[in-house]
Amino acid sequence: MERLTFEAMLDAAAGIERTGSQYTVQDGFSLSVYIGEPGQAMEVSEVASLQLHEAFCEATSREHHSVYCVEYSSLHGICVRPPSGGGGRRAGFE
């Protein structure tokens, strides 16, 4: 994936705030980044923040405070999960 595509995905995602080239996941939201090729991607879960550098992305995970540095060409996708227990209506229930 190209950096511009990755930035567009992050900018469009709910629960992610941008300050320059730094992205921070808001409280309650959960972000996963997928690294690798389709069908063979590794999930980096519980990402707290992303720092976009010229040639690579630095992802800091909440789990064990691990930091992953990944070339943009290895990024495959993201998943953003909203806070659970939002009290919203569910299909079939009132």
Residues 6+ apart with CB under 8 A from 73: 1
pTM assigned to the model: 0.83
30 to 14, 48, 58, 93: CA distances (angstroms)? 10, 8, 17, 26
Nearest-5° Cα angle at 84, 79 to 87? 135
- Reported as a single tens digit per residue, the pLDDT across 26-69 is 999 999 999 998 788 899 999 999 999 999 999 999 987 899 99
Q: Hey, which bits of the chain come out as E strands?
A: 16-19, 22-25, 30-37, 40-52, 56-61, 67-71, 75-81
